[in-house]
């Protein structure tokens, strides 16, 4: 069983539509914030990786909307790693509200590149940190 990182977010008024639900594309920003906090939790921020000439652009994403999140809801964004090998890593997400209602399920797929957009192997320090968050039987590296 893999570990899951959890990030809390309170929905702001600015994130919502006139109909009082999060505008659909704003979920991508929530996923990015949670992933950024996950990396910080692992010990190295996105900016620190960038300073080491490693960035992790999204190459594919999938979002499944299950229910509406509304202004002032407290969301728990769960992040887990589904794979991390060679130059690629993939994440799975679940967003639930304060009542435990499933709001969103998502996946993002990333590649590791240099700042010059050249593919590069995932840093060993990163794959070691991701290991506890990988599904059983999924080696990092």
Q: How far apart are CA 7 and CA 3, in angstroms?
A: 13
Cα–Cα distance between 4 and 6 in angstroms, integer? 6
Q: 128 pLDDT exceeds 70?
A: yes
> What global pTM score does this model have?
0.92
List, for residues 107-125, the tens digit of each pLDDT value. Answer: 999 999 999 999 999 999 9
Report pLDDT for 109. Answer: 98
- CA distance linking residue 3 with residue 88, whole number of Å: 19
Q: Is 126 exposed, middle or buried (0-12, 13-18, 19+ CB in 10 A)?
A: buried
E strands in 2-134: 5-10, 58-65, 74-85, 88-96, 102-111
pLDDT in tens, 3-47: 999 999 999 999 999 999 999 999 999 999 999 999 999 999 999
Model pLDDT for residues 55-71, shown as the tens digit of each residue: 999 999 999 999 999 99
Domains and CATH numbers, the chain: 5-118 (3.10.129.10)
């Amino acid at each position: 069983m893999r570990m899951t990182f959890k990030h809390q977010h309170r929905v702001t008024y600015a994130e919502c539509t006139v109909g009082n639900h999060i505008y659909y594309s704003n979920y991508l920003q929530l996923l990015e914030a949670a992933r950024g906090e996950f990396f910080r939790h692992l010990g190295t921020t996105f900016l620190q990786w960038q300073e080491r000439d490693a960035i992790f652009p999204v190459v594919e994403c999938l979002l499944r909307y299950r229910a509406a999140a509304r202004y002032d809801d407290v969301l728990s964004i769960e992040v887990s790693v589904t794979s991390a090998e060679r130059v690629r890593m993939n994440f799975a997400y679940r967003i639930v509200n304060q009542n435990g209602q499933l709001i969103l399920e998502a996946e993002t797929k990333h590649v590791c590149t240099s700042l010059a957009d050249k593919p590069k192997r995932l840093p060993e320090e990163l794959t070691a940190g991701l290991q506890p968050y990988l599904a059983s039987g999924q080696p990092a590296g």
